[in-house]
Amino acid sequence: MPGDDRAQRKHAPATLRNREPIAAVLQAELPVTGKVLEVASGSGEHCAFFAELFPVHVWQPTDPDPGALGSIASWCAGLHSVLPPLALDATAAHWPVDAADAVLCINMAHISPWQATLGLVAGAQRLLAKGAPLILYGPWRREGVQTAPSNEAFDASLKARDPRWGLRRVEDLDAAALARGFARTRLVEMPANNVMLIYRR
Q: According to the model, what pLDDT value does residue 14 have?
A: 83
Q: Is 109 exposed, middle or buried (0-12, 13-18, 19+ CB in 10 A)?
A: buried
CB 95 within 8 A of CB 88: yes
Each residue of 95-129: pLDDT tens digit?
A: 999 999 999 999 999 999 999 999 999 999 999 99
Q: Tell me, what amino acid is at 50?
A: F
Each residue of 152-176: pLDDT tens digit?
A: 999 999 999 999 999 999 999 999 9
Beta bridge partners of 200: 183
Separation between Cα atoms, residue 125 and residue 52, nearest integer Å? 28
